[in-house]
Amino acid sequence: MKFFDDFLCQKNKKMQTICGDHCVCERTPTGTIYVVCDGIGSGVYANIAAITCADHLLELFRSGMSIRMAGETVAASMHRARKEDIPFSAFSAAVIFPDGQFVVYSYESPNLVILQNNHAVELVPRFYTAGFEVIGEATGTLLTGDSLLLFSDGVSQAGMGHGLGMGIGSAGVVEFINRNHRSNDNIAELPQKIVEMCKTVSAGHHEDDTTLVLLHCREARELTLLTGPPSEKSLDKIYATDFMNMPGKKIVSGSTTVEIVARELDFKIVTLSMGDSFQPPEYFIEGADLVTEGAVTLNHVWNILDEPPERLTGGSVAERMCLMLHDADVIHLMMGNASNTAHEDLIFKQVGVHVRKSIIRQIVERLKNMGKLVIEKGY
């Protein structure tokens, strides 16, 4: 499975404390969407325009509208700003599908750049009219190791007024990459290098808000979390078999859950630790990387999931689960839908333990905010 890292470098226009560019990234099972918006002007007004544009694009996409229709709709709304005093923003909106195919719709934005086989080229879009506005459409495919670069005109116009005519343009970004980037260089550092070059050719400062994001394709680190018994006993075999057939690392969270897996697949459960008031128990079964208790452990995980990984020593099952979640790009959540009335006992509420379904929802939200792709499946 492919995963698309996003490496962002952003610098404010000189003498400005707020950036007029805004970027958003959202990962779903159907694709990764990345939006770069450049509000007109600078400072707070430009920032508000860029945020409004980005939110509008995302909401339209979430509602089921294609990225093409979303781009055309937002561009049409910008037409009013040419005559009225309302926020205006240029944008580039990219969708990369799980197989690496991508499409980018751009409005008043620089041409993007693609890096393949360590060679960069400018990707010139096909332009067409939508209402009174002109939209650019660019398509292609990212293979493992390829990268796509989107940027604001703070990059493409760098050097303007300093001997470079209309600026370096997308061609200047291509030339810089091909001259300076080597196959063994850290790809995550490339955006910073390009933005620093923009500063250099602009006499040591940024004449405009400068934003560059690099979307890099690589093989995903996958993890499956299995928790809770299925809604029907007849699903137990399918539940356990599906789990063991999943790619990557595997976690079982729940005493009843591990009993189901062991029974259905004829595995032996080995108790590694009985646990205590601070430490949930830990078990071992063949084919799983971590096996522990359910609701209490998941509550412990949620409490420390936003801690920096370097603070997690791995001294508890909750810490080890957090480290595994931090390391994964794609988390497959397999959740049984049976209710557990024991977790609704008053004693759990007294000690602040949320029931499984509630704490899972909070964990999923936090993982998404961390940039993880979470794929959920209920049984």
Per-residue model confidence (pLDDT) at position 314: 87
Residue type, 76: A
CB 321 within 8 A of CB 309: no
Give the whole-angstrom CA distance, residue 136 versus residue 104. Answer: 8
Per-residue model confidence (pLDDT) at position 204: 95
The DSSP output letter for 132 is T
Run of H or E residues at 136? strand 133-141
Per-residue model confidence (pLDDT) at position 97: 96
Per-residue model confidence (pLDDT) at position 130: 86
Domain boundaries, the chain: 2-218, 222-378
| pLDDT-based confidence at residue 340 (cuts at 50, 70, 90) | low
pLDDT tens across 9-65, in order? 999 999 999 999 999 999 999 999 999 999 988 899 999 999 999 999 999 999 999
Share of the chain above pLDDT 70, in %: 96
Q: Fold for 2-218, please state it.
A: Phosphatase 2c; domain 1 (3.60.40)
pLDDT tens across 124-172, in order? 999 999 888 999 999 999 999 999 999 999 999 999 999 888 999 999 9
Per-residue model confidence (pLDDT) at position 275: 76
Least confident of 194-198, 251-255, 276-280, 284-288: 276-280
pLDDT tens across 216-258, in order? 999 999 999 999 999 999 999 999 999 999 999 999 999 999 9
| pLDDT-based confidence at residue 341 (cuts at 50, 70, 90) | low
**What secondary structure does DSSP assign to 155-215, as a single string?**
HHTTTTTTTSTT-SHHHHHHHHHHHH--TTS-GGGHHHHHHHHHHHHTTTS-SS-EEEEEE
Going by C-alpha positions, the residue among 28, 89, 86 that lies closest to residue 55 is 89
Per-residue model confidence (pLDDT) at position 122: 98
User: Does 8 or 279 have the greater pLDDT score?
Assistant: 8
Q: Which two tokens stand for residue 157?
A: 């116009």
Burial class (CB in 10 A: 0-12, 13-18, 19+), 363: buried
Give the whole-angstrom CA distance, residue 42 versus residue 160. Answer: 17
